[in-house]
Amino acid sequence: DAKTTQPNSMESNEEEPVHLPCNHSTISGTDYIHWYRQLPSQGPEYVIHGLTSNVNNRMASLAIAEDRKSSTLILHRATLRDAAVYYCILRDGGSGNTGKLIFGQGTTLQVKP
Amino acid sequence: EPEVTQTPSHQVTQMGQEVILRCVPISNHLYFYWYRQILGQKVEFLVSFYNNEISEKSEIFDDQFSVERPDGSNFTLKIRSTKLEDSAMYFCASQRQGRGTGELFFGEGSRLTVL
């Protein structure tokens, strides 16, 4: 499974935008870029995913570099509830794949009031 | 909104005892997974299950572990003879389709404490 690199931790102020970076220089052509988060004492939660184009949903935006070797998860206005561990994960979209997620250490986001 | 439910939320057991953790995936999902997270560590993949058989398993998922979908709704993880190091949070997840597209839905987890 292709690896990702994320900062261990980041801080943000409430109601300000947050940009969470992820490097994935060994990404293959069939890898999708997924982001999940884990709030304290909860199971992981899907945030967003994309392949090549930037993506937006109600939770966040995903900006993918043109060469796909890096991506950035954007939370437009951080709230205290967004304090969590954020995982950037590559998932193989090829046929025959079981679709499992391989979690790294992620980025622990602290949001200050 | 549909959700994955897990029971029990917390189970305490003695070393060597059998434990069954239960999960009810989202009803129209076809792919099922178990993960575990030891306190303070990362989430680890255990096993994936599709079409009533294991499709992939990790090195952690040894002969002491088994999974079953006995009745078309429940998805269970059995640990045959628990060890101290099996103490962890166990998460069940399901997905409508496999591959790298789509979204995995996780349950809230079952905390297993082995004494």
A77: pLDDT strictly greater than 70: yes
Q: Strands A107-112, A9-13: parallel, antiparallel or unpaired by DSSP?
A: parallel
One-letter amino acid of A83: A
Closest B-chain CA to A47: B103
Angle at A65 between CA A93 and CA A18, to 5 degrees: 100
Which tens digits make up the pLDDT trace of A28-61? 888 899 999 999 999 999 999 999 999 999 999 9
In B1-51, beta strands by DSSP E: 5-7, 10-13, 19-24, 31-37, 44-50
Q: Which amino acid is at A42?
A: Q
Q: Average pLDDT in the A71-100 region? A: 88
Q: Which of B104, B105, B110, B111 to mutate to test the interface with A (most CBs of A within 10 A)?
A: B104
Dihedral over Cα of B101, A97, B5, B53: its sign: positive
Q: What share of chain B in percent tops pLDDT 70?
A: 97
Predicted local confidence at residue A65, as pLDDT: 97
Nearest CA in chain B to A101: B45
Q: How far apart are CA A104 and CA B101, in angstroms?
A: 19
